[in-house]
């Protein structure tokens, strides 16, 4: 089995080299890796750093594509899916929030034929009031994500605790059965909605992350992106 790891990038010069090195050196049990990096019109040194890294790893299955202008995370991921050749796909953010060490664990239910889709959930827990959720912005993200996941579960009759998680492993063949339209962060509810409508078996496994703040480059804005996510969940419940 081949796992296509899609890395959308926009202005991540501070972390992109670290995450590429981490993805490259982390083995995935039971699968070979294909790494597809899509730069979404970065204005910093991200593209130059990626190009140098790819040149240094010519023998590996690492591929780099550039969007001429910034279109949004969803557009970058969709471009990555179009270039993917693996049986399964996972998205890896270009910052250091998510750790590729979980790939093997998340892939195991698929290899064991116990699931078709696996989500890495950050939210099978109460808020960490002494930890990250003591920060008001992180608390709002936690509550917002729990609410969006509840809406997802109710609309699609499948229990999901973390619809917004970056770590979703899903079959590439499934993406040929529907069209994806999202340009920005509404990609997460759209891909979730359309995968669930196919009736595929979904399971969740707990993961932990290292969230970054807006001062460190975080781009998701709950007040702006939350309503878009709700609308996407409702819209795609009844349309394509």
Q: In percent, how much of the chain has pLDDT > 90?
A: 80
Instruction: Note the pLDDT of residue 137.
Output: 76
Q: List Cβ<8 Å contacts ≥24 apart for 12-16.
A: 12/42, 12/44, 12/46, 12/94, 12/95, 12/217, 13/42, 13/44, 13/45, 13/46, 13/49, 14/216, 14/217, 15/94, 15/95, 15/96, 15/217, 16/46, 16/49, 16/50, 16/94
Question: In the 8-state DSSP scheme, what is residue 124?
Answer: S
pLDDT tens digit sequence for 142-198: 888 899 999 999 999 999 999 999 999 999 999 999 999 999 989 999 999 999 999
Residue 218 scores a pLDDT above 60: no
Q: Cα–chain-centroid distance for residue 157?
A: 22
Q: Please tell me the pTM assigned to this model.
A: 0.91
Instruction: Note the pLDDT of residue 144.
Output: 87
Residues 6+ apart with CB under 8 A from 161: 121, 123, 124, 146, 149, 204
For 2-238, which CATH superfamily applies? Spore Coat Polysaccharide Biosynthesis Protein SpsA; Chain A (3.90.550.10)
Return the domain boundaries, the chain.
2-238
Give the lowest-confidence range in 39-48, 101-110, 134-143: 134-143
Give the lowest-confidence range in 37-51, 101-115, 123-137, 213-227: 213-227
């Amino acid at each position: 089995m081949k796992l296509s790891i899609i890395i959308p990038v926009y202005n991540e010069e501070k972390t992109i080299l670290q995450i590429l090195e981490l993805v490259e050196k982390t083995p995935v049990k039971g699968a070979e890796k294909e790494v597809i990096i899509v730069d979404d019109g970065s204005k910093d040194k991200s593209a130059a750093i990626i190009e140098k890294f790819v040149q240094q790893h010519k023998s590996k299955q690492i591929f780099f594509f550039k969007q001429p202008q910034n279109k949004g995370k969803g557009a970058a991921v969709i471009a990555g899916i179009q270039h993917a050749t693996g049986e399964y796909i996972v998205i890896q953010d270009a910052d250091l929030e998510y750790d590729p060490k979980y790939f093997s664990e998340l892939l195991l239910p698929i290899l064991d034929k116990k699931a078709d889709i696996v989500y890495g959930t950050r939210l099978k827990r109460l808020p960490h009031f002494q930890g990250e959720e003591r920060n008001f912005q992180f608390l709002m993200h936690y509550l917002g994500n729990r609410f969006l996941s509840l809406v997802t579960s109710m609309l699609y009759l499948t229990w999901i605790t973390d619809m917004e998680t970056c770590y979703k492993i899903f079959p590439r063949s499934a993406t040929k059965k529907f069209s994806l339209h999202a340009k920005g962060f509404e990609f997460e509810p759209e891909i979730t909605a359309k995968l669930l409508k196919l009736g595929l078996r979904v399971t969740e496994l707990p993961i932990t992350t290292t969230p970054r703040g807006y001062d460190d480059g975080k781009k998701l804005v709950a007040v702006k992106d939350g309503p878009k996510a709700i609308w996407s969940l409702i819209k795609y419940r009844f349309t394509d």
